[in-house]
Structure 1
């Protein structure tokens, strides 16, 4: 019998399980479409190919925004730890930097305040806020300290002083103990009395330091108000407009404000930025407690203001008032012996103790006013008497100490580290002390000689002797001004040195004009000799060689004086630029 043709089934080998049984039934693998073949193409059954994650297709649900959001929110433990450490370090160092920055800012403000106090001393009995406002007013008066404009901002300066003044005149703050005076209506030298706050105060109970500081505030406000006359602001007081942009009777066609600046407010909304300047000077004159020198300087400042406004008669009355104030500091028995109050000429035989610095200063200002308006017959005797008083005064035993302390960085730091406040500087003289002569007064003497020489040459006419005398006065003035610049106390301070240089410049300019006039006169005489006629015949007889030599010498001297004047002006200009560059190169200028 033939064997059966039935297929013999293959024996399936039992495969050893190499993996432990899963706790849950395995999911059927889903092969990738492009790598999967149907069973009919397979010769034998085999397990699917291993599927790798990067070869697996992205499902539709995972490609949605939910997957991306979940992936973003899901942070590993390592990332969480890094974020926590970073946040802690950020908070820590932010707090440290903030503390150090705050401490440094407070220390910087204290350091700057201490330097300002040393440069611009304020009375210690004032409150801190008043002292800060006073120092800021002094600070802004230095042009280089204003970074916005580069020159003195008088509007800001006036505002700072105004804050200090309101507190000083407030009895509940820094003005405790002052009394307001009511002495009736006050009439100005020019007869006006309307629109001025002329109230005065009695602060004789206050200390001398308090009075000195109060006087400096009033004088500072007077200087600021004098320069801001006609300026206006609005209710917010954030902007101000100078008088050239404001319509007024003296300026019917004002300029348009520069581009970028706010327009000028309407006339009904305009507010004057300051009170009239004479308000503050008259407050000094009508108050009780100021020294003779302080009241006299206020009167002289008011007189200069009136002279600038071309009110000659009113200015003369104010200068005479200043002279009366200076004389009132003397005992009644010595007032008539020291000066003639009508002519303001100092008595040559007056005792030296009756000639004070205040009298000399007031008399000099009055003489300058007489000379400026052409009354040289009244000015010349005063100049001569003042110069005689200065030259005959006793020598000063020592120079006057400066009212400014060392405001350098080293001195300021030492003062802060030792917690020692700089004492208030010595008070200036009262003006009633006898006049003393010091080497620094050579420049003032040179200025007086310049005035005397100018007047003598102007009134010389055809007098050759008076012309020669005037020329000698001018030459001596130039020599004194030049010699004064070599004094250590003057050469070390640019302001005082510049005063002497200006005096020398004026003297050289007068000298040059005199030589020009004399050289032209000599040439004219020489031309008359060469022109013929009786004068020419007489000149030919006597010869013209001497006259020609004289004209040549005068021209040479004129050329030499002009060269000296040119060199001096070039030197002054160079020093000015160097000083400005040095100041603008510094952060703070004291």
Structure 2
């Protein structure tokens, strides 16, 4: 048993040394001043362990310590090599897969564009690719950022295509200047090539490129760009004589360049129209459509004299293609009126097309006495042409697996070239809308020029009613009902007829009400009407107002239907990734 101990209390200050004093700065402990090689060495006088991190000189590493610090073990080296190999391998694999996916996506998109916008097979791959892109950008739904066709992009793609087509070292092999050395057009320069050595498909594709560039140039008229052609500014942002207070540019877009640095983004539209007209090898219809397109552009630019000259040039082009040595027996070139005694086989679709456009231009210029006989003669020629019934044959696609694969591997055929328009005119069921439009024109002109003649008013009203009935009947025909574009055109023709019919009834009803009010307001005229009786006036007003209300209801119903179809089409288009 351990003996008990007593607690001894020492006096204060007994454990302190009398000579102890505090140094100026603390002195490190003695065991930390040993050499680094003696840290782990045993020492009899070492009461405490020697730890390296307590040694102050450890902040300055020696050469050997640095080598040990950056030395890599064998396992670590092997791990780094394996990781590097796997990284390179997977990077190459991902790059190859991504590249293959991008090429496949581009090929699928290009194939879809080719089926939607076929191009001549004899063109090179790059030319066909840029041509399809130019066609593809013309669809508004394919421009997600703008929501409308980017005509600057369309012009750029087609311009690249045109340069390759006119380059003899690329796709323009065999393209020659005309024997006369080319036709010089004032303000445009040399225009027109000899395309006789080219195939019909090549010429049709060349025509589509020129027409597309003309349409894009019309939309880009007045726009400006710089020499780098990175940005383009619309006329509302460009200061000019007609726009002295231009709008501020949009945020993030550079300012409009100075006048000396401005460049038009496209050539003048007449450059491309005249190139088609003056080239040798195009069909009559192609040259005629280019001439009428240029005439419409001049009419839009408020140049009636130049436009009329161009419309008459188009008439001369159509007359030159008539299959008769005496074209004066078919049409009067001065007035544009078709002869009633002209043989059926001598009247061509081109002459009908040119005469209709000339009469429409006269009607827009309020030259009704010149337009009305042309419309009547054209309608007479259409109604007197031989009828032909074209059966609508729907091609059945092979939906089997083999048929689908073969259809994907087979290159789509280029569509047949449209007829030249120099063949005899035939009355087709799909052209009934054209007849309804002519009846609308004739009825409106007759009523507008009737004055106080009630007989001519009734005649004009009957023409408009007949036009509405014709367009309504045409929508039930198979060739029109199965074709959405032609059916919508007939609906628009019916809408125009109903609108004209409603305006005529509004005018007649207002005139009848004024007549009734004058008969009931008093005076000598009122006394005469009281003797005769005003019952007839009341019935006339009710009849005209009832017909006006009925026409208005039909017009509103038709517009609701057309608006619903338009919204459905937009929903279907924007539901797809790309629209063709």
Q: TM-score range by the shorter chain?
A: 0.7 to 0.9
Q: Could you say what secondary structure the match of 1:249 adopts?
A: coil
Cα displacement (A) at 1:412: 11
5 Å-filtered alignment, 1:170-209, equals: 170-181=167-178, 183=180, 194-209=186-201
Q: Could you say what secondary structure the match of 1:259 adopts?
A: coil
Cα displacement (A) at 1:252: 3.4
Distance 2:406 2:464 in 1: 49
After TM superposition, the structure 1 stretch with the greater mean CA deviation from structure 2, 553-562 or 247-256, is 247-256
Which of the numbers 230, 236, 241 marks the counterpart of 1:238? 230
5 Å-filtered alignment, 1:39-188, equals: 58-60=53-55, 85-181=82-178, 183=180
Cα displacement (A) at 1:539: 1.7
After TM superposition, the structure 1 stretch with the greater mean CA deviation from structure 2, 433-442 or 251-260, is 251-260
With CA pairs under 8 Å and 6+ residues apart, which has the higher RCO, 1 or 2? 1
Q: Which residue of 2 aligns with 1:367?
A: 359
Cα displacement (A) at 1:326: 0.9
- Tell me the TM-score normalised to structure 1 length: 0.83
Note closer, same or farther for the CA distance 1:28–1:441 as it changes in structure 2 (3 Å cut): same
After TM superposition, the structure 1 stretch with the greater mean CA deviation from structure 2, 81-90 or 289-298, is 81-90
Q: Which residue of 2 aligns with 1:269?
A: 261
Note closer, same or farther for the CA distance 1:135–1:287 as it changes in structure 2 (3 Å cut): same
Cα displacement (A) at 1:290: 0.6
Distance 1:580 1:265 in 2: 38
Cα displacement (A) at 1:63: 7.0
Cα displacement (A) at 1:533: 2.6
Q: Which residue of 1 aligns with 2:310?
A: 318
Residues 185-229 of structure 1: CA distance to partner in whole angstroms, max 9, x if unpaired? 979xxxxx6431342211111111111111111111111111111
Distance 1:248 1:101 in 2: 50
Q: Which residue of 2 aligns with 1:414?
A: 405
Gaps of 5+ in 2: 1-39
Asked whether the 8 Å contact 2:318–2:354 carries over to 1, the reply is yes
Matched pairs, number:
538
Distance 1:233 1:168 in 2: 25
Note closer, same or farther for the CA distance 1:397–1:492 as it changes in structure 2 (3 Å cut): closer
Q: Could you say what secondary structure the match of 1:315 adopts?
A: helix
Residues 32-80 of structure 1: CA distance to partner in whole angstroms, max 9, x if unpaired? 99xx69xxxxxxxxxxxxx9xxx97845389759699889867777766
Asked whether the 8 Å contact 2:392–2:479 carries over to 1, the reply is no
Q: Could you say what secondary structure the match of 2:325 adopts?
A: helix
Q: Could you say what secondary structure the match of 2:189 adopts?
A: coil
Q: Which residue of 2 aligns with 1:519?
A: 509
Q: Which residue of 2 aligns with 1:47?
A: none
Cα displacement (A) at 1:106: 1.1
Asked whether the 8 Å contact 1:415–1:421 carries over to 2, the reply is no
Note closer, same or farther for the CA distance 1:257–1:183 as it changes in structure 2 (3 Å cut): farther
Residues 320-379 of structure 1: CA distance to partner in whole angstroms, max 9, x if unpaired? 111111111123425222222222111222222111111111000001011111111111
Asked whether the 8 Å contact 2:139–2:579 carries over to 1, the reply is yes
Distance 1:149 1:259 in 2: 16
Asked whether the 8 Å contact 1:137–1:161 carries over to 2, the reply is yes
- Tell me the TM-score normalised to structure 2 length: 0.85
Distance 1:487 1:216 in 2: 31
Distance 1:32 1:453 in 2: 130
Distance 2:261 2:396 in 1: 45
1:343 maps to 2:340: no
Cα displacement (A) at 1:463: 2.0
Distance 1:260 1:300 in 2: 41
1:528 maps to 2:546: no
After TM superposition, the structure 1 stretch with the greater mean CA deviation from structure 2, 209-218 or 542-551, is 542-551
Note closer, same or farther for the CA distance 1:335–1:465 as it changes in structure 2 (3 Å cut): same
Q: Could you say what secondary structure the match of 2:382 adopts?
A: helix
Q: Which residue of 2 aligns with 1:570?
A: 560
Cα displacement (A) at 1:568: 2.5
